Amino acid sequence: MTSLAICGGSVLIDGATEPTRADVLVVDGHVVAIGGSVEVPHGGEVLDASGCVVGPGLLDLHAHLREPGNEAAETIETGSRAAALGGYTAIVAMPNTTPAIDCAAVVEQVLRLGRSTGLCEVLVAGAITVGRAGEQLAPMAEMADLGVRLFTDDGSGVQNNRLMRRALEYASALGITLAQHCEDSALAEGGVMHEGEWSARLGLPGQPSEAEELMVARDIALSRRTGAPVHFLHMSTAGSVELIRRAKADGLRVTAEAAPHHFTLTDAALSGYDTVFKVHPPLRAASDIAAVKVGLADGTIDAIATDHAPHTPETKERSMLDAPPGMLGLQTALSLALTELELPIARIFSLLSSGPARIARADDRHGHVAVGRAANLCVVDPSATWIVDAARLASKSRNTPYAGRTLRGVVRHTVFNGAATVVDGIARR
Amino acid sequence: MLVAGLSAGVCMKHLLSIEELGADGLTHLLELTDRFVEVSERKVPRVPALQGKTVVSLFYEDSTRTRLSFETAAKRLSADVMTFSVSTSSANKGESIRDTVETIEAMGIDAIVVRHKAAGVPWQIAGWTQASVVNGGDGWHQHPTQALLDCYTIRARLGSLVGRSIAIVGDIKHSRVARSNVQAFIALGAEVTLVAPPTLLPPSLEGWPVKVEHSIDAVLGRVDVVYLLRMQLERTVEALVPSLREYTQIYGLTDERSARLHDDVLVMHPGPMNRGVEIGPSVPDRLNTVITQQVANGVAVRMAVLFELLTGNRS
């Protein structure tokens, strides 16, 4: 029997709108007691949570772990460590690796590497099309048999309308969800930032908002037609948020996520030509940020997902046209939500934990703080502050756009399957 | 990044954009250019001002005239000149810009003149080197020495830009010349009208104090300067204009339109020209078409810029 107690904190119990003062006792991977004070079995570990909120472990729907293929930028192990330090107990590995995660063999490899690191649960998103080339359906049923529940060609959207319709029809029998990177390639072609006042001034080719919104509108129509669920990845424009709001009002099976950089940074950040701010979809205008924040507050957007996208310094030290898009996110997401969103902490945990856990169909084991549930927990001090130091992040890469920023919310401990992966802000392995 | 003011005691480290240079900086460099126009007119057009200094031209994008103009300017100031030609260099083999810059810097250099297809590269390089950086054209963004030589040319002909009306005609969207000149002309007191189809305008003109017209005939009767931009055939492939023929009909300064222009109106072009497209075949030979003066003034302007950057810090 292994036991662990989290003492002195306020616990955000399932269904509660506010945390209540309590200790949590974990035995053999499950929460067995939540109460004013729990009796710690002999030899059990005690984690001090004074001043902290004990919430459900976070689940990231959108992490680029770069393995297999680009282990110089990140590995499943380093990405998992960054995740644990960020309060995550589960992450979904995106399939745009080399080779792409588009068949059972690669799914098995990633799942195996994830299990061997033991820092969090590594879930897999499979590709919708072979090689993410947008031409032929990938063997989704075969991957679903291995537990894959999300499928996406993320990095690009499925451009062909007929193929996307077929993919949704096929998926509707499998109990899976297709997730879309909404970017019409013809409209977005060559664009390296949001098209608008800043792109005009900076002389950089832009991606118009409509490049995203047209594909959101198309997939809403196709979801209506096929009855298959669609999850919208990294929503960045006011128009997209409104389309999803209306689709939900119509009772359609759509869900959406937003990335922290899309509610904290605007396209003005590109003005110094620092490629760390290059990301797809691009940083948008202040009015888009405001709309994303409203969507996060009113439930239009179900989840905050990082789009954690590590790139080595060498590849980011190219020109704005040539540098790859993407930024780190796993170790800053919770703090950014606490710093920038004026939302109750229960809503923040809903956006980072239970909401995404439902979309990933992993809510049997993630997104809960309740007796009898798996002990996947995040202990955060919501009022403590820290300064982001790119060199000290656990990721193999350094491309955080928040270097030097002071953020509120420090992850103190993370508990994964009943064992501490992070204690006092330090990863156990 | 750039210390804009050139008033006493303040020195420029880099020349990256007109915006960062500001009106005072512009005026200062134009006044300094007078001295180098005089040098250029000498029998032996050379002064020892930059003896012992090394200027590198780092051109990632083909350019003959700008590179030659900078190299001529540096030589007339007695600087050593190195040419880094990308097609024959390691950059062609995948070396990063940063590695290239650090390699060049290790040879001991004082200034880098850079041209790149991507906006912003001169700013990136300025962060990686101790040398002065001169923007020789970055993507669609800035070409500050072109704007300086254009302002110098207008001043030489019209005395001042204050109150003058200038039309910039053509592909504004993809033009670093337009972006630099809009800022420079306005800073020096001119009024600017952009003349282009909506497809060749920037996606937003928020913060640009300009007027817009959609035919060249709408401006010809009321402007002091017609500044024509090069119209490229690729723009028809990108569905920005239906054909060069239609472009010429609405936006070209044809020989017929030119014949109706008042003699005093200046016609300018940054080159290279497409005769018969944006400019009628005989327009370059017109009395107040000042395209060759632009080129000539380019050398003097670039002498002034290199002189200011490489000697200013010592005074």
Give tens-digit pLDDT for A335-363.
999 999 999 999 999 999 999 999 999 99
CA distance A402 to A299: 26
Give the model's pLDDT for residue B95.
Answer: 78
The pLDDT of B286-301, averaged and rounded, is: 95
ipTM of the complex, rounded to two decimals: 0.92
Residues A262 and A281 sit within 8 Å (Cβ to Cβ): yes
Helix (H) or strand (E) holding A296: helix A286-298
A224: three-class secondary structure by DSSP: helix
Least Cα separation, residue B96 to chain A (angstroms): 7
Q: What is the mean pLDDT of residues A286-299?
A: 98
At B92, the pLDDT band (50, 70, 90 cuts) reads: low
Are B117 and A202 a contacting pair at CB < 8 A? no
Element (H, E) at A248: helix A238-249
> Worst-scoring range by mean pLDDT, A93-102, A384-393, B77-86?
B77-86
The nearest alpha carbon in chain B to A273 belongs to B120
**β-strands A23-27, A20-21 pairing:** unpaired
Task: Please give, rounded to a whole number of angstroms, the shortest distance from the CA of A337 to a CA of chain B.
Answer: 31
Statement: residue A236 has pLDDT above 70: yes
**What is the average pLDDT across B221-250?**
92
Active site residue ranges of B: 65-66, 93, 115, 143
Does B96 reach chain A within 8 Å, measured CB to CB?
yes
With a pLDDT cut of 90, the percent of chain A lying above it is: 97
pLDDT value at B236 more than 90: no
Q: Picking from A30-39, A242-251, B217-226, B232-241, which range would have the lowest pLDDT averaged per residue? A: B232-241
β-strand pairing of B80-85 with B54-59: parallel
- For residues B135-161, give the mean pLDDT: 97
pLDDT of amino acid A258:
98
pLDDT at B63: 85
**Closest chain B residue to A207 measured between Cα atoms?**
B203
Residues of B in contact with A318 (CB under 8 A): 96-97
Interface check B141 vs A, CB under 8 A: yes
Substitution target in A267, A315, A319 with the highest count of B β-carbons within 10 Å is A319
Confidence band of B232 (pLDDT split at 50, 70, 90): confident
d(CA A119, CA A63): 15
Percentage, residues of chain B above pLDDT 70: 93
CB contact under 8 A, A318 and B205: no
pLDDT tens across B185-219, in order?
999 999 999 999 999 999 999 999 999 999 999 99
Q: Is B143 on the interface with A (CB under 8 A)?
A: no
- CA distances (Å), A107 to each of A113, A148, A149, A154, A231, in order? 10, 8, 12, 16, 20
Mean pLDDT estimate for chain A? 97
**In this predicted model, which residue has the larger pLDDT, B170 or B11?**
B170
* Contacts of residue B285, Cβ cutoff 8 Å, sequence gap at least 6: none
Whether B179 sits inside 8 A of A203 (CB atoms) is yes
Residue B94, pLDDT above cutoff 80 = no
CA-CA distance, B212 to B196, in Å (whole number)? 8
Instruction: Tell me how close the Cα of B258 comes to any Cα of chain A, in angstroms.
Output: 31
Average pLDDT over residues B87-107: 81
| Contacts B141 to A, Cβ<8 Å | 202-204
Q: Token pair for residue A91? A: 């992450």
Q: Do the Cβ atoms of A204 and B138 come within 8 Å?
A: no
Q: Helix H segments across chain B?
A: 18-40, 65-76, 97-106, 121-126, 144-158, 176-187, 234-237, 244-251, 255-260, 291-311
Q: Which of A196, A197, A320 sits opposite B119 (nearest CB)?
A: A320
Confidence of residue B90 (pLDDT cuts 50, 70, 90): low
Say whether B102 sits in a helix, a strand or coil.
Answer: helix
A208 contacts chain B (CB < 8 A)? yes
Q: Does B94 touch chain A (CB under 8 A)?
A: no
Position B8 scores a pLDDT of 38
- Among A342, A267, A287, A276, which Cα is nearest to A309's? A276
- Alpha-carbon distance of B263 to A150, in angstroms, equals 70
Decide if A202 and B203 are in contact by the 8 Å CB cutoff.
no
Residue A23: both structure tokens together: 């200790």
Phi, psi of A423 (to 5 degrees): -130, 130
Angle formed at CA A28 by CA A25 and CA A32, multiple of 5 degrees: 35
Gyration radius of chain B over CA positions = 19
Q: What angle do CA B26, B32, B34 make, to 5 degrees?
A: 115
With beta carbons less than 8 A apart as the criterion, state whether A352 and A58 touch. Answer: yes
* pLDDT surpassing 70 at residue A179: yes
Answer whether B207 touches A (CB < 8 Å): yes
Tell me which residue has tokens 């953020």.
Answer: A407
Interchain CB contact of B129 with A (< 8 Å): no
Q: Which residues of A touch B176 (CB under 8 A)?
A: 203
In this predicted model, what pLDDT tens digit does every residue of A350-402 receive, in sequence order? Answer: 999 999 999 999 999 999 999 999 999 999 999 999 999 999 999 999 999 99
Q: Pick the closest to residue A411 from A351, A304, A332 (CA basis).
A: A332
Please tell me the predicted confidence (pLDDT) of residue A1: 79
Contact B259, B287 (CB under 8 A): no
Specify the DSSP element, H or E, that contains A166: helix A161-171
Q: Which of B120, B179, B203 sits opposite A319 (nearest CB)?
A: B120
Using CA atoms, how far apart are residues B160 and B230, in angstroms rounded to an integer? Answer: 25
**A135 in contact with chain B, both atoms CB, cutoff 8 A:** no
Q: Which residues of A touch B121 (CB under 8 A)?
A: 273, 319-320
* pLDDT single digits (tens) A313-327: 999 999 999 999 999
Q: Which pLDDT score is estimated for B62?
A: 82
The minimal CB distance from B207 to the residues A197, A203, A319 is found for A197
Per DSSP bridges, beta strands B225-228 and B266-268 are: parallel
In this prediction, residue A16 has a pLDDT band, given cuts at 50, 70 and 90, of very high
pLDDT number for residue A159: 98
Helix axis angle for B291-311 and B65-76, nearest 10°, is 50
The verdict on a CB contact (< 8 Å) between B207 and A314 is no
Residue A105 has pLDDT above 60, yes or no: yes
Of the ranges A137-141, A250-254, B286-290, which one carries the lowest mean pLDDT score? B286-290
Contact criterion met (CB < 8 Å) for A204 and B205: no
**Percentage of chain B exceeding pLDDT 90:** 86
Closest CB from A196, A197, A202 relative to B119: A202
**Nearest residue to A409 via CA among A348, A328, A319, A326:** A348
CB contact under 8 A, A318 and B141: no
User: Is B138 at the interface with chain A, CB within 8 A?
Assistant: yes
Eight-class DSSP state of A324: P
What is the pLDDT at residue A185? 97
pLDDT at B85: 78
| Nearest chain A residue to B176, by CA | A203
Cβ contact, residue pair B138, A320, below 8 Å: no
pLDDT at B93: 64
Nearest by CB to A200, from B98, B142, B203: name it.
B203
Percent of chain A past pLDDT 70, that is, above it, reads 100
| Average pLDDT over chain B, rounded to an integer | 92
Please report the number of interchain residue pairs, chain A to chain B, with beta-carbon separation below 8 angstroms: 67
Per-residue confidence (pLDDT) for residue A166, from 0 to 100: 98
| Band of pLDDT at residue B2, cut at 50, 70 and 90 | very low
The reported pLDDT for the residue numbered A362 is 98
Distance from CA of B122 to the nearest CA of A (A): 9
Asked whether the beta carbons of A309 and A327 are under 8 A apart, the reply is yes
pLDDT bin (cut points 50, 70, 90) of residue B10 is very low
Answer whether B142 sits within 8 Å of A273, measured CB to CB. no
Across B235-242, average pLDDT: 86
- Mean pLDDT within A230-243: 98
| Cis previous bond, B203, omega within 30 | no
